Structures are given as C-alpha cells and as structure tokens.
C-alpha cells in the first residue's frame, strides 16, 4: 500500500486530491496538511510515515519551496508538486530543491479534465513513491569513488564532427544542469537533449534557468535549423526530435514507450547520420527510453555512456541501457562532463 500525505492550503483541493488517490486500491491517503509547517509536524509526530508527499507551491505560513527544502534536508521523501501551472520558473526552483515532478492541480472549473488529471496523478504517485531520494544538503555528499574508464579504441575523430545525444527524465533538470555546468566554453560538439516533461510544462523556463548558470549557448530546438558546435538544443514537448546530417527534423508520430519526445528516436537518427562520430548518454529517469537508441549508436561505432546508480535520482533508464550490453562507460554524474572534455578537447 502506497501511503500519501496531501499538502495544500485549499480544503477543496485537498479533498479532490484525496478522493482521486483513494479510488485506487493500492493507494491510501494517511494525512492532510494545509501548509508546510503542518506537514513537518505530521512527519515528526505521526508513527505512520508517507511513501510520497503531494505538495502545492503557494501556501501560507510555510510555502511549498520552504517545505521541499526542509523535508529533503532532514527527512527525504519523494515529493510530487501538484499546483496550477502558471509560473514556469517556480517549477525549476522546486526541482532544484529536490521535488521529483510537477503536474496540474485539479481545479473546481476543470471537471471535464478531471478523469485525465486523476489518471496522471495516480500514475505519478505510484511511480515516484518507489524513488530512493537523497538528502539535499550542500557539502554533505559522499565522495565518489572514481571508476576505471575503458580505453577508447576508436579512430581519431575531429571533436567538432562529434554529435552528442542525451536522454533524461525524472530528476533530469537538476542532473542536466550539473552536467552542463562542468562543460567549458570551448566545448566543440553540439548536444541534443530529450528531457521528458509533463504536459503543460514549458521548456522555456528550463532553458532560462540553465542560461543563468552554464557557459554554453542553450535553446529550444527549432525545425530545420542547422546545429552548431558547442550549442545545446532541447527538444520541445510532444514532438520527437531527429537529426539528418546537421539539420534538426521534427517528427510528429505517435509516442514510443509512452514518451514523446523519444530518446530512442533521437539516438537512432544520430547513429544513422553520424555513425562512429555519435555519442549517446542516458541519465536518470523512469522507464527504458534510450536503451534501444543506445544499441543503435553502439552498432554504428559511437560512444555510449550511462549514469551510475549511486548518482541517479531514478536508475530505471540508465539500468535499461546498461542491460543491453551496449554501454561503454558507466560513470557518476560528476565524471561525465570531465570524460567528455578529456575526450573532445584534452586528448586532441
């Protein structure tokens, strides 16, 4: 049984969320709180602990940001933000503090959308309740033991001819940010990113957040544009991203493995266009998107990388990629950027 604590200042919203969740026999709402302070008191005093918390952002006394920060520092529990999707920058801040995902809050005027919202809410609660979250306290991360890297035996390739594809899902925004921060201004290869986002989430906010923290140019991919060295291109929501030569192509076909955009589609197109010059990276996320694409990159002679379990928020996608037997390097997040820099710059 998945135990849930519902945190929202609106009594109606709390009841709607509780009612939705309690319709599933595998879920039980064990408590409600009208603000973060009440939520923390519940965690301190109630012997029955939740497996996951749903939390609003705008609340009196102690808002959602403060609640996430406190809980993830002192009593880490998976947190799903359930709020009105109106200010994209708020979502980035919540994810940075440790929340796992964000979905639309059911509202009194959205009765026609309630079945769809309810199904998504139940699905997210079931998936995220299984995530092993980590403490978010600066300076207290355990030192990572470096893995021995396999010797690269591929023939010398001009770094500017390389193309990198990255797949990420749950936990991806903060993971991507940490990775991109490690890449220098003279990084030569273009990077194409498939980050799974909930419907209604805006890529623009993600990109603006990144722009303030990283050294490389980053933008939302546009159909027909030519990729440039050292630029990062993020796929729009609900559109598959492909590469033909150096030209970005949009693919409006059906979801693959319930994902749109699909990393498998991106990786396959990079493998076909750039063969041994392709690099595929699978980061944290639920499911197996990217695994089939990793096989294609490996067959084409490219380099394949997966994030290790210890540094992954969710090890599903990297694990699926590793299990294909086609991943060359399993690395901690802290070493992926260094590996790419050494491969494309320092060893040239």
To the nearest whole percent, how much of the chain has pLDDT over 70? Answer: 88
Q: The sheet that has 27-33: what strands, in order across it? A: 27-33, 2-7, 52-55, 79-83, 101-104
- What pLDDT score was predicted for residue 109? 60
Euclidean distance between CA atoms 313 and 133, whole angstroms:
6
Establish whether 196 is a catalytic residue.
yes
- What pLDDT score was predicted for residue 87? 54
- What pLDDT score was predicted for residue 136? 62
**Which stretches within 153-218 are classed as H helix?**
172-181, 203-211
To the nearest whole percent, how much of the chain has pLDDT over 90? Answer: 69
- What pLDDT score was predicted for residue 199? 60
Per annotation, catalytic residue among 9, 101, 264, 289: 289
Give the chain's length.
348
Euclidean distance between CA atoms 61 and 9, whole angstroms:
10
Burial of 111 (0-12, 13-18, 19+ CB in 10 A): exposed
Euclidean distance between CA atoms 77 and 80, whole angstroms:
10
- What pLDDT score was predicted for residue 298? 95
Give the range with max mean pLDDT: 74-83, 208-217, 289-298. 289-298
- What pLDDT score was predicted for residue 201? 60
Per annotation, catalytic residue among 196, 240, 274, 329: 196
- What pLDDT score was predicted for residue 151? 39
- What pLDDT score was predicted for residue 93? 82
Per annotation, catalytic residue among 168, 169, 235, 288: 169
pLDDT band at 285 (very low <50, low <70, confident <90, very high): very high
For residues 40-77, one letter each, b for 16 or more C-beta atoms within 10 angstroms of the residue's C-beta and e for the rest, the string is bebbeeeeeebbbbbbbbebeebbbbbbbbbbbeeebb
The average confidence (pLDDT) of the chain is 87
Backbone phi, psi, residue 103, to 5°: -135, 170
Condensed to tens digits (0 to 9), the pLDDT of residues 219-271 reads 999 999 999 999 999 999 999 999 999 999 999 999 999 999 999 999 999 99
What domains can be seen in the chain, in order of their start residue?
2-128 (3.40.50.2300), 159-346 (3.40.50.180)
More confident residue, 76 or 203: 76
Condensed to tens digits (0 to 9), the pLDDT of residues 39-65 reads 999 999 999 999 999 999 989 989 999
- What pLDDT score was predicted for residue 345? 85
Give the range with max mean pLDDT: 131-140, 266-275, 306-315. 266-275
Euclidean distance between CA atoms 98 and 322, whole angstroms:
26
With contact defined as beta carbons under 8 Å apart, do 12 and 38 qualify?
no
């Amino acid at each position: 049984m998945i135990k849930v604590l519902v945190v929202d200042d609106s009594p109606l919203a709390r009841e709607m969320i509780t009612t939705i969740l309690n319709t599933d026999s595998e879920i039980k709402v064990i408590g409600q709180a009208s603000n973060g302070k009440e939520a923390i008191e519940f965690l301190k005093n109630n012997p029955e602990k939740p497996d996951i918390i749903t939390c609003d952002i705008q609340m009196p006394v102690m808002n959602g940001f403060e609640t996430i920060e406190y809980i993830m520092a002192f009593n880490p529990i998976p947190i799903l933000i359930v709020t009105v999707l109106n200010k994209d920058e708020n979502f980035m801040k919540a994810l940075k503090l440790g929340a796992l995902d964000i979905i639309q809050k059911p509202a009194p005027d959205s009765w026609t959308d309630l079945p769809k919202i309810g199904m998504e809410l139940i699905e997210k609660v079931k998936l995220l309740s299984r995530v092993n979250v980590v403490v978010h306290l600066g300076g207290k991360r355990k030192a990572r033991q470096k893995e021995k890297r396999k010797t690269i035996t591929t023939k010398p390739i001009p770094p500017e001819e390389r193309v990198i594809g990255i797949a990420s899902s749950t936990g991806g925004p903060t993971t991507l940010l940490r990775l991109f921060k490690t890449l220098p201004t003279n990084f030569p290869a273009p990077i194409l990113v498939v980050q799974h986002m909930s419907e209604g989430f805006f890529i623009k906010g993600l990109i603006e957040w990144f722009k303030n923290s990283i050294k490389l140019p980053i933008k939302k991919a546009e159909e027909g544009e030519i990729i440039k060295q050292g630029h990062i291109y993020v796929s729009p929501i609900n559109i598959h991203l492909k590469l033909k030569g150096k030209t970005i192509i949009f693919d409006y076909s059906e979801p693959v493995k319930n994902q749109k955009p699909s990393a498998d589609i991106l990786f396959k197109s990079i493998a076909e266009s750039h063969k041994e010059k392709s690099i595929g990276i699978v980061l944290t996320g639920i499911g197996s998107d990217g695994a089939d694409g990793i096989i294609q990159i490996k067959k084409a002679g490219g380099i394949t990388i997966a994030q290790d379990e210890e540094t992954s928020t969710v090890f599903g996608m990297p694990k699926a990629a590793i299990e294909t037997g086609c991943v060359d390097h399993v690395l901690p997040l802290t070493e992926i950027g260094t590996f790419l820099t050494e491969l494309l710059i320092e060893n040239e």
